[in-house]
Amino acid sequence: MGSSASAGRSMTGRDRDGEGRARNARPRDGLGRPLPYGAAGVERQPEGVVRTPSQTVAEAQELLDAGKPFHAHEVFEDAWKSGPQEERQLWRGLAQLAVGLTHSARGNLTGGPRLLRRGAEAVEEWAAVAGQPVPYGMDLASLADWARELAEAVEQGGEVIDAAARSPRLRG
């Protein structure tokens, strides 16, 4: 495709962004699942946005409340990639919680609970090392409890959950 890449499909049929990097351009539903080309989808979160921690938490909460945990995960991922090194585990753990909720709402009754527990462990470990159980107004112990309770409910219930109805409160 060369150095003058433009957004769209390459000659090989692969989707590319404006820089020529591989990027799936198919529309997505509220849980981030790809839809057929041309279908109406949910607007995707822009990648690489640098937000303050408070903006990150507020935007992610809005998305979680709207039943869009996949999109909240992308907001947390931006913080994970652009924030200070000492906070990477916190934001990665929060992204894992959002992805665990996403998978649970998609019906992945094994992967969803696994990711919820992994995210719970990550935020608890970060809080223990950082000595900050309530960074940016978030009660990490309560979030970890929420994640473990949801993981158990998904496994025991064996049914798809409603992401909006089961979303966490990031701030107490």
What mean pLDDT, rounded, does the chain reach? 89
Higher pLDDT, 2 or 107: 107
State yes or no: pLDDT of 9 exceeds 60. no
28-33: which pairs have CB atoms within 8 A and are 24 or more residues apart?
28/70, 30/66, 30/67, 30/68, 30/70, 30/71, 30/163, 31/67, 31/68, 31/69, 31/70, 31/102, 31/105, 31/106, 31/163, 32/70, 32/71, 32/73, 32/102, 33/106
H-type alpha helices, 107-139: 111-130
State yes or no: pLDDT of 2 exceeds 50. no
State yes or no: pLDDT of 14 exceeds 80. no
Q: Quick: pLDDT tens for 29-84.
A: 889 888 898 898 888 878 888 999 999 999 999 999 999 999 999 999 999 999 99
Region(s) of the chain under CATH 1.10.3450.10: 53-157
Q: Which of the residue ranges 2-11, 31-40, 48-57, 127-136 would you say has the lowest mean pLDDT?
A: 2-11
State yes or no: pLDDT of 18 exceeds 70. no
What CATH class has 53-157? mainly alpha
What average pLDDT does this structure show over 104-130?
96
pLDDT score for 17: 58
pLDDT score for 3: 35
pLDDT score for 71: 95
What average pLDDT does this structure show over 93-101?
98
pTM: predicted TM-score of the whole model, two decimal places? 0.84
What is the rounded CA–CA span in Å between residue 20 and residue 15? Answer: 9
Alpha carbon distances (Å) from 79 to 75, 120, 123? 7, 18, 14
pLDDT score for 25: 79
State yes or no: pLDDT of 116 exceeds 50. yes
